[in-house]
Structure 1
């Protein structure tokens, strides 16, 4: 295809994915309130009318971003949690490795910052993020930890609280990167942060004789 030809001459089946990919970038850069459908259409290389063929509102576009662009990454984490047959420490190391990879290689951080910053004015964003991502991922981690407790690999405690403790430093590192690094703060290396947190977490949670 000639470089000057618009993207909307591609197969119609490609358009929703192109729009979602563009919306992910625009939301991460501008936030929800400032993002316009015109911006998303321009980034996708389609007309604004083409966006309306697939999505009625900007909120519908956000829901599609969560479903198509972000949820598949977290589905991989849930699959690891539900299928890992080995020792619990190996499971947690693999889990955090994948989480850091997703945080570093996608626009997840920018969209997370948007949801946190704009949830008061747009509570539906927080509800979608919680119901489609957070609740499912946290639930899978909670179940994996509870199973490890039954096997004697993890000491007694609220497995849901343990699950939150596991991911919170990584999420805080992502929010730090998105919020403070652009204004001059010293960044944290997410891989190093995850490694140090992992050993601290495992030392506190593992049962006697489990390593």
Structure 2
């Protein structure tokens, strides 16, 4: 499969002309995988995974279909990279941040969870949650990928903070997994809402996300705390 003309030239370099392409061209090539992922995610969310064609993704990214295959082998490969780059890597960053935290579990959860979910909601990563919720039934491989790349490490991150609070006496001896689900489920639906009802200009459909996230995390923390703050 041949590359785009703009990506390779078979003409010999003229005398006195640098053999290497301009720096701007190199930057363009370096940015192309990310541009393809942006286009793929946008179309996956808007049209659904099944209805999206690779040529649609290439067209939106401004490249040929052949160029797309230079970077990603299939539509499934694009989906794997979307989940990995937009969600999985950020969970790994959260795990590192939690491991380095020296304060209380309550303080850690108030800051890390609010910041993490706000950043996720405000980025295109929020669309990944809507994509998985709407498509997973018809594509079991998405469910397996999501479990391995997101659900397990995400539960490890939040569950570890809850267990940390139990061990320190900050939290009651609650069922950790139940608390994880209690925290995550409403926030996942907040992401889905952004790309469904929240995208409609209908009265009563809007909400203030940061206020909701803070209130939600506060509600859970008060429920499991041994000494709730007044």
- Please tell me the TM-score bracket, short chain as reference: 0.7 to 0.9
Look up the match of 2:18. none
Matching of residues 111-150 of structure 1 within 5 Å: 111-150=128-167
Look up the match of 1:194. 213
Matching of residues 26-105 of structure 1 within 5 Å: 26-105=43-122
Q: CA deviation at 1:88?
A: 1.6
CA RMSD for the aligned pairs?
2.3
Look up the match of 2:40. 23
Which of these two proteins has the greater Rg computed from alpha carbons? 2
Q: Separation in 1 of the partners of 2:228 and 2:115?
A: 26
1:7·1:46 contact (CA, 8 Å) conserved in 2?
no
Q: Separation in 1 of the partners of 2:48 and 2:7?
A: 25
Look up the match of 1:3. none
Normalising by structure 2, report the TM-score: 0.80
Look up the match of 1:208. 227
Q: Separation in 2 of the partners of 1:7 and 1:46?
A: 10
Q: CA deviation at 1:119?
A: 0.9
Q: CA deviation at 1:83?
A: 2.1
Q: Separation in 1 of the partners of 2:228 and 2:182?
A: 22
Q: Any idea what SS the aligned residue of 2:73 has?
A: coil
Q: Separation in 1 of the partners of 2:72 and 2:60?
A: 16
2:166·2:173 contact (CA, 8 Å) conserved in 1?
yes
Q: CA deviation at 1:86?
A: 0.5
Q: Any idea what SS the aligned residue of 2:102 has?
A: coil
2:222·2:229 contact (CA, 8 Å) conserved in 1?
no
1:26·1:40 contact (CA, 8 Å) conserved in 2?
yes
Q: Separation in 1 of the partners of 2:83 and 2:7?
A: 23
Q: Separation in 2 of the partners of 1:201 and 1:210?
A: 12
Change (3 A) 1:44 1:8: farther
Q: Separation in 2 of the partners of 1:17 and 1:58?
A: 15
Matching of residues 143-162 of structure 1 within 5 Å: 143-162=160-179
Matching of residues 143-182 of structure 1 within 5 Å: 143-182=160-199
Q: Separation in 1 of the partners of 2:87 and 2:148?
A: 13
Q: Separation in 2 of the partners of 1:7 and 1:34?
A: 30
Deviating more after overlay: 44-53 vs 78-87: 78-87
Structure richer in helix, relative to its length: 1
